[in-house]
Structure 1
């Protein structure tokens, strides 16, 4: 049972209904097991909030298992926040504040389900997870970042490890 729970929390297709929101992707870190979740911010009619298309929050996996908490000001502005721009009807360009090199495009797939499209290892993919490996000597510095998603062309898991300059 524990194995199933661990496996499920790191499955690439981690989209699930979560309080009236739909999980687009999450960030896991080497520092601890807590997750930063990015959920589609929709109203009761299923319409995406054009001012704030994603709700971002912590899920505690250590001290207070499962507890949800908002990001603080510093976390939003320096680490886990995002900027968004509506580029079409129901389409948003998302720029993560700490990883602006690649944009995430929130859009509907052929079945009408939202996804976060991004290029991973040269292939279009639906982003499911970002893992951040902190430097052992300074957890505020990043050794590498790994993107994981589902390839849009073949449905296979695709990953890419990025080492910052």
Structure 2
């Protein structure tokens, strides 16, 4: 009996240690899942969340002029939606895109703060799109990014990103922690 109790205690402690190894704040609100939601970014600074939504025309196709809308949900305030400020768009959370092929609703997307990462916006059904990227070497549907930044200096310094998604084929969860030098 004593040995079983030690085993159970070890398993429970191990579970908490493993689950706490991800720095993302579990107390942060999760944005509502809609057909427009592509992915979101949360940071250690506060619960305010950057949302990346697909923009569709009246027929359910991606809007060719502006296929992605980026905005804040200000959870740390009153939960209101707010446009990105110019500095946020230009240096951190803004996006650029280029349509790859007119026929298949595929766009190459870049986040301003990390132009080295390839993201692909793909329409999968009317009024439904996903963002694809490599997460830990696996082609995945991007769900969220968590940014841990050191706020002690004059400007925040990003220490690492945690990227969460689902394998594009198997739908199993994918994860990658990316240190920033």
Same-fold status (TM-score > 0.5): yes
Q: Which residue of 2 aligns with 1:143?
A: 159
Q: Which residue of 2 aligns with 1:46?
A: 60
Q: Which residue of 1 aligns with 2:96?
A: 83
Q: 1:68 aligns with which of 81, 99, 123?
A: 81
TM-score in terms of structure 2 length: 0.77
User: Structure 1 stretches of 5 or more lacking a match?
Assistant: 1-5
Q: 1:155 aligns with which of 148, 153, 171?
A: 171
Q: Which residue of 1 aligns with 2:141?
A: 126
CA RMSD of aligned residues (A): 2.1
Matches of 2:44 and 2:95 in 1, distance apart?
Answer: 21
Matches of 1:145 and 1:97 in 2, distance apart?
Answer: 15
Matches of 2:59 and 2:99 in 1, distance apart?
Answer: 19
Structure ID, larger Rg: 2
The runs of at least 4 consecutive aligned structure 1 residues that moved more than 2 Å come to: none
Which structure shows the higher strand fraction?
Answer: 1
Aligned residues: 152
Contact 1:15 1:128 in 2 (8 A): no
Aligned residue for 2:156, secondary structure, equals: strand
